[in-house]
Structure 1
Amino acid sequence: MAELKVKNMEEFAAKSGVSRPTVSKYFNDPKSVRATTRERIEKALELYEYRPNPYAVNQNRRLTKNIGIVVPYVGDPFFAEVARRLEWRCIEEGYLPTTFSSHGSPDHEVEILDLLQSMRPAGVLLAPIGRESDRSHMEAFCKEVPTVLVDANIEGIGAAFIGSDNFQSMSLMVDYLCRSGEPPCLFEMPPVNPNANKRRQAYSEAMDRLGHEPSVIRVEGSGWDFEAIGHREGLKVLEEGRLTSKTVLCSNDRLAIGFLSAAYEAGHKVGITDDCSLRVAGHDDHPFSRFTCPSLTTAAQNYDSIANFSVETLCELIADEGSNRLRRETLFDNKLVMRASA
């Protein structure tokens, strides 16, 4: 059991009778020092209470092992799940990930990027706010730090974008809903990021292709509180009789969760049985979508492939040490998940 505390690596090196560079080399890779030296250091660890601060060790390296992960709203279980998977892949690759939330604030997003730059990260996985992001600040950051964008694509920013194919997924949903019942209207999310506009465009193109008139219901409100917006605006639409179809395709699952609550309050039964007056579907396969009542039909994003390929791409960029390369965009297909709501 450790008996004595030491304050830093210099003091530990003096106590163990080994040079400070050799101690540092040991903590980076124990097998990189001679067996006799390793034995001396490990005996000292048994006696003295000391473990190096990994972030401080990183700052003394030419290339740190820190990875920054930035999401627009960590209170969103969708982004929490994305961040969780990115973190584990970074850890598996031997990096130290730190996750930040910009909370939907472009000013705070800038502050996070400035903080990350001071940490000298090896790279950054960035899910930007999108439409309101400070493009010029983000461009300057990405010139200095290897950066991969995920979820929301800002054209020309970062060395790569990894995300979901919104046109494939919305076409998949529209095809299924038209095939299985009345063609859907689109209950649209606030345009907080590029995905909102892409999903609206993809919905309209799919409806045109099938010979149906697109019907987009735009909601009032802004920000990331999608459940509250879906509930409030859903009640308005239902009370005012503005639905143009008995099938409602929501542009994300969080909006659909709010709409399901509004439908219940307005006395509508949602589902696929004969006694139901509405069908409702969403997009993303939000972690809670299987537990709504009824469970939500949705387009599932390929979380694993997006997380794995994002980290693999960032590791390649780090290994290239910032060499110039063409920006890459990689989109993964989504999967139709049929549940009780549609």
Structure 2
Amino acid sequence: MAQPKIRNMEEFASLSGISRPTVSKYFNDPDSVRASTRAKIEASLKKHDYQPNVFAMNQNRRTTKNIGVVVPNLADPFFSEIGRRVELACIDAGYSPILLSSHGSPEMERDNLKTLRSLKPAGVLLAPFGRMSDEAAVQAFDEEFPLVLFDANMAKVGQAFVGTDNGQSVDLMVEYLCRSGEPPCFFEMRNPTNPNANKRRQAYIESMERHGQEPRIFQAEGEGWNFEEIGSTEGARLLSSKAFSTNTILCSNDRLAIGMLSAAYGLGLRVGHGTGCDLRIAGHDDHPFSRYTCPPLTTIAQDYEAIANRAVSELFGILEDDERLSDRTETTFDGRLIMRDSA
């Protein structure tokens, strides 16, 4: 006959014949109990197949081992990849990450922070929407818990920010495109969701001017996270009308560039930098799919691992030294040019 499922630590302690405080002490630190007691508890764990509720245990602690990780949209492979790396870095440091997606909704971002507040996290790593975020809600959360921002910055919010140097990365791409062919036009959304887009546009303008070229900016209608669809629809419209003044297009991000590649294919335009090519297309982010497009996409690689590790180390540094809460830091990493067949 199957054994009844143990619902909580009290029931486990009763069935094991060990006091509840001793069991709790073991789960907090196995080495803190005598070896004979530890062996008895571990034998009971195996016998009853019991796993404690870590989050419930944390609620009874003054400082929990929970680390909240909030990203705008886990359906976006960029955020799923960087979120995965942040999650693993937390686990390696002995913390329990709680990874939440805002699913493209600033309202859900606010609700995610509300949920985390109830879990009493030791700290939170947030990739915010930026201008679309509920700034008051983020600031209120920042006043209660250690908060580190990554990917997108918000002025005067969080104890630290970690991301990519968009000025350096865009200039690197513009220099390459100008050197290897016609100077690039810039393709972006008219109302970008992510504040990095605005920084990339400004970086493009400044870089083109440094290279003695006239900036040429083309904006797509549409909002939200359907970048590929917007890039394809608006890209087709602009390509069909021959709106671009050069044969080189730098897209604000890889997902727009993937849509632009689709639009070019639909119009029978050959993309690449070889003989007989009609168009060069480049992007930014080194999206996980960018190497598998046709042709493979020339882009800028962000250092996912460095961003994730630095964001986590910044948060843990704050947890270890409360004095750092008053000293906001900003760290950005250089992008790396990835030359592929599209440009």
What range describes the TM-score normalised by the shorter chain of this pair? over 0.9
* Shift in CA distance, 324/42, structure 1 to aligned 2, threshold 3 Å: closer
Using the alignment, how far apart are the partners of 2:277 and 2:48 within structure 1? Answer: 70
Q: Secondary structure at the match of 1:116?
A: helix
CA-CA distance at 1:281 after TM superposition:
0.4
Q: In structure 2, what is the equivalent of residue 307 of structure 1?
A: 308
Q: In structure 1, what is the equivalent of residue 110 of structure 2?
A: 110
Q: Secondary structure at the match of 2:325?
A: coil
Using the alignment, how far apart are the partners of 1:146 and 1:157 within structure 2? Answer: 11
The aligned runs of 1:167-246 (5 Å cut-off) are: 167-189=167-189, 190-246=191-247
Contact 1:70 1:126 in 2 (8 A): yes
CA-CA distance at 1:59 after TM superposition:
1.2
Using the alignment, how far apart are the partners of 2:90 and 2:182 within structure 1? Answer: 45
Over residues 246-297 of structure 1, what are the superposed CA-to-partner deviations in whole Å (9 max), with x where a residue is unaligned? Answer: 0000010000000000011111100011110100000000000000000000
What is the identity percentage for the equivalent residue pairs of Structure 1 and Structure 2? 59
CA-CA distance at 1:18 after TM superposition:
2.0
Using the alignment, how far apart are the partners of 2:224 and 2:34 within structure 1? Answer: 57
Using the alignment, how far apart are the partners of 1:56 and 1:132 within structure 2? Answer: 33
Q: Does 1:332 align with 2:333?
A: yes
Q: Once structures 1 and 2 are overlaid, which stretch shifts more, 12-21 or 328-337? A: 12-21
Using the alignment, how far apart are the partners of 1:84 and 1:140 within structure 2? Answer: 27
Give TM-score scaled by structure 1 length: 0.97
Q: Secondary structure at the match of 2:138?
A: helix
Using the alignment, how far apart are the partners of 1:333 and 1:47 within structure 2? Answer: 52
Contact 1:69 1:100 in 2 (8 A): yes
Using the alignment, how far apart are the partners of 1:178 and 1:46 within structure 2? Answer: 65
Contact 1:4 1:47 in 2 (8 A): no
Using the alignment, how far apart are the partners of 1:31 and 1:4 within structure 2? Answer: 29
Q: In structure 2, what is the equivalent of residue 96 of structure 1?
A: 96
* Shift in CA distance, 46/98, structure 1 to aligned 2, threshold 3 Å: closer
CA-CA distance at 1:40 after TM superposition:
2.3
Q: Does 1:296 align with 2:297?
A: yes
Q: Secondary structure at the match of 2:132?
A: coil
Q: In structure 2, what is the equivalent of residue 123 of structure 1?
A: 123
Specify every segment of 5 or more residues in structure 2 that has no aligned partner in the other structure, as ranges.
none
CA-CA distance at 1:224 after TM superposition:
1.1
The aligned runs of 1:315-326 (5 Å cut-off) are: 315-321=316-322, 324-326=325-327
Q: Secondary structure at the match of 1:238?
A: helix
Specify every segment of 5 or more residues in structure 1 that has no aligned partner in the other structure, as ranges.
none
CA-CA distance at 1:158 after TM superposition:
0.6
Q: In structure 1, what is the equivalent of residue 53 of structure 2?
A: 53
Contact 1:249 1:280 in 2 (8 A): yes
Q: Once structures 1 and 2 are overlaid, which stretch shifts more, 45-54 or 58-67? A: 45-54
Number of positions where the alignment pairs a residue of Structure 1 with one of Structure 2? 342
Structure 2: which amino acid aligns with 1:77? P
Using the alignment, how far apart are the partners of 1:237 and 1:250 within structure 2? Answer: 13
Contact 2:318 2:325 in 1 (8 A): no
* Shift in CA distance, 20/248, structure 1 to aligned 2, threshold 3 Å: same
CA-CA distance at 1:240 after TM superposition:
1.2
Over residues 168-212 of structure 1, what are the superposed CA-to-partner deviations in whole Å (9 max), with x where a residue is unaligned? Answer: 000000000000000000011342121111000000000000100
CA-CA distance at 1:330 after TM superposition:
0.3
The aligned runs of 1:26-175 (5 Å cut-off) are: 26-175=26-175
Q: Secondary structure at the match of 1:131?
A: helix
Contact 2:106 2:134 in 1 (8 A): yes
Over residues 100-151 of structure 1, what are the superposed CA-to-partner deviations in whole Å (9 max), with x where a residue is unaligned? Answer: 1112222111111111111111111101111111111110101111111011
